[in-house]
Amino acid sequence: MKLRRTMMFVPGNNPGMLINAGIYGADTIIFDLEDSVALSEKDAARHLVYNAMKSIRYSCEVAVRINHISTPFGYKDLETILAVKPDLIRLPKAETAADIEEIDELITAAEIKHGFRPGSINMMAAIETAKGIRNAYDIAAASPRMVAIAIGGEDYLADLQTSRTKDGKEFFAGRGQLILAAREAGIHAIDTVFGDVNNEEDFIAETTRIKEMGFDGKSVVNPRQINIVHEIYAPTEKEIDHAQRVIAAYEESLARKSGVVSLNGKMIDIPVVKRAQRTLAYANAVGKNERGTTL
């Protein structure tokens, strides 16, 4: 199981953070060439990220958020960064499938030029407008390289002409559409950043809420947020124990060639078995399934 619980943004114009980005334990680090980099530093940041990726072997998935290809910087970002083979290109402000298809073609050409394995560079897109949300499935399914879609909070709220509230109701429609699109396309759904790094209480509440909605992970902006997200996403011992007993009961019914599965007198249907399988797969991925039970 591929985990993308935390995708941590790292400003591309900060050499110290580029060097140390891999030590904090995020599932993915995203070197940012877009919003965190001033216009006057775009070229310098692009080359800093290029040199960091060329000289440092990071132990986690490495993504680069390029500038949109409608800006003067997007094509330059791709030409430079694709030469050092990122695991993932993150496109901001995606609104249509055509955005994804054009970058897919550029990545394919770069893989041929540099001798990389075809299809070895993945893509994800951040959706930050109402139009993008309306086209979320088309964006998610536009290329086999697509592995995730994310919602970009501040631009999305500006487009909706609203602002953040404590309980996040302004995101409800967008997050719901994003989850549906990601699940239909079979890729990950990633939530937006929570910028107030000193407000741990609301960060925990928001992360718990988006996990319950079905998001696979969250974009983060500070290493202090990583372990909080991972703890929220980790299955509890009680959940793991229940999943193991469900799978054991299911396997016993298969051995008896019985179509009826029950546990402690309660009938178990296939969706329950599938949830148990996912819980154990997740526990295995985070090293919490000590019995090694799988299916």
- pLDDT per residue over 156-188, tens digit each? 999 999 999 988 999 999 999 999 999 999 999
- For residues 125-149, average pLDDT: 97
Q: Which residue type is seen at 149?
A: I
Examine the pLDDT at 291 and tell me if it is beyond 70. no
Cβ 81 vs Cβ 51: under 8 Å: no
177 or 285, which is more confident: 177
| pLDDT for res 252 | 86
CATH 3.20.20.60 domain extents, the chain: 6-233
Residue 155 labelled as part of a binding site: yes
- Report pLDDT digits (tens) over 35-76: 999 999 999 999 999 999 999 999 999 999 999 999 999 999
- Report pLDDT digits (tens) over 247-270: 998 888 888 877 777 888 788 888
Examine the pLDDT at 288 and tell me if it is beyond 80. no
- Alpha-carbon distance of 178 to 171, in angstroms, equals 10
CATH fold, domain 6-233, is: TIM Barrel (3.20.20)
Residue 87 labelled as part of a binding site: no
> What are the angstrom distances between the C-alpha of 184 and each of 50, 136, 213?
34, 10, 15
Examine the pLDDT at 273 and tell me if it is beyond 50. yes
Examine the pLDDT at 295 and tell me if it is beyond 60. no
Residue 90 labelled as part of a binding site: no
- Alpha-carbon distance of 218 to 226, in angstroms, equals 9
This prediction has a pTM of: 0.91
- For residues 262-283, average pLDDT: 87
